[in-house]
A = this chain, B = another copy of it.
């Protein structure tokens, strides 16, 4: 369907947008990302499909806009940052492994990652999701220098773990004994959140 000429029409109000979001959230949750169509979302919301394009752009962009985080960021950060500071990496590793072991939250994460891999346009919104809503605020609250770099590296490991474990499918990442995996991840998250310059500081391009 070609992009309609929405530029000249007065955009519908926030109620319409909210109706689309509600319908999309329900569809994505019920039938999954691949089987959700813009047409079905529009029918559920009682709007013209072109309004979805107008408000959200592509299906991927709609998905990222309405994706329900499987946790409340503020509450989660409070929990992660409470207690011994040296254990923040361990708490984050446990939190991440719990998300990946729960089929519903794992499915949400993998849908977001696959959308980013296949659609250039979705990548920027996923970047916003990770850096603005999730790991950026966490890195800032920890108070380390270069929070943007640290948040991006944390994101790279979180995305990489989900990808390696559930898309590429390394058996060692799905072993019954999760303690070794959690311990190594905990140390790595501590490096990204708390680590200073490398112990060996020999100059290198």
Contact = CB atoms under 8 A, between A and B. Distances in A.
Interface in A80-137: 84, 86-87, 89-90, 94, 113-114, 116-118, 123-124, 126-127, 130-131
Interface in A144-182: 146, 148-153, 155-161, 163-165, 167-173, 175, 179-182
A187 B180 contact: no
A186 interface: yes
Contact of A173 (B89, B149, B181, B184): B149
Interface residues of A, number: 63
Interface of A: 84, 86-87, 89-90, 94, 113-114, 116-118, 123-124, 126-127, 130-131, 146, 148-153, 155-161, 163-165, 167-173, 175, 179-188, 191-192, 195, 197-202, 204-205
A152 B170 contact: yes
Instruction: Please give the count of copies of this chain that the complex contains.
Output: 2
A49 to B, nearest CB: 26
A157 B159 contact: no
A109 to B, nearest CB: 13
A117 B163 contact: yes
Nearest to A126: B168
A149 B90 CA distance: 17
